Amino acid sequence: MIGINTIMKFMTLIFLSYSLSAQRGTTGQEVFANRFPKDVEAISNSSLLISNETDHDIIALIRGQYNEYLRHIYIRTGDEWVFEDMPITRFYVQFKAREFYFEDLKRTVVNFGEKHSFYFFYDPQQQEDYKTITEEEFFKW
């Protein structure tokens, strides 16, 4: 016969495992919506695919040519996200990866109807592709 203590331990274990997994976001969530203005969208038929090829989840942030906030999204490890109807502008990408913040040094021009791809795979040996930024720089708008 199963005792009440065994049942309580089992229920506690289930609750803890659920609450631990529930804290991880899902790809597509705007986890910092309260820290940024409304996303900038345009009817441009342009898109940007961001693929997370690291061994941890990231938050990708898209900024315009004048450092203005455009959009951000949570992307799980090994997953990807497509930003549709990107504004026609020159943009760059910033990332929050674990406790670090990075900025891609390349600028990409988006014209009407173009489809762009970006693969994030931070490699310290390719330091010339990214620069480390502060949390304040990441969250400015």
Asked if 31 and 74 count as a contact pair (C-beta separation under 8 A), the reply is: yes
pLDDT at 123: 62
User: Count of CB atoms within 10 A of residue 44's CB?
Assistant: 17
Check pLDDT > 90 for residue 124. Answer: no
* pLDDT category of residue 120 using cuts at 50, 70 and 90: confident
Is residue 62 a part of any domain in this protein? yes
Residue 91's beta-bridge partner residues?
Answer: 64, 108
Tell me the pTM: 0.77
pLDDT at 12: 63
Closest by CA position to 84, among listed 30, 130, 47, 118? 47
Residues with Cβ within 8 Å of residue 117, at least 6 apart in sequence: 48, 49, 50, 51
For a pLDDT cut of 70, what percent of the chain falls above it?
A: 81
Could you identify the residue written with the tokens 């592709």? 129
H/E stretch holding 1: none
Looking at the 3D structure of the chain, how many domains does it have?
A: 1
pLDDT at 1: 61
CATH number, domain with residue 95: 2.60.40.10
pLDDT at 42: 87
Q: What is the DSSP letter of 133?
A: -
Strands 47-52 and 115-120: parallel
At 97, give phi and psi (nearest 5°): -130, 110
pLDDT at 82: 96
Is residue 90 a part of any domain in this protein? yes
Domain that holds residue 90: 33-139
Is residue 71 a part of any domain in this protein? yes
Check pLDDT > 90 for residue 75. Answer: yes
Check pLDDT > 70 for residue 129. Answer: yes
Check pLDDT > 90 for residue 127. Answer: no
pLDDT per residue over 25-60, tens digit each?
Answer: 899 999 999 999 999 988 899 999 999 998 999 999
Asked if 80 and 74 count as a contact pair (C-beta separation under 8 A), the reply is: no
Number of helices (H) and strands (E) in the chain: give both, helices first.
2, 9
Is residue 121 a part of any domain in this protein? yes
Is residue 1 a part of any domain in this protein? no
Is residue 9 a part of any domain in this protein? no
Is residue 23 a part of any domain in this protein? no
For a pLDDT cut of 90, what percent of the chain falls above it?
A: 59
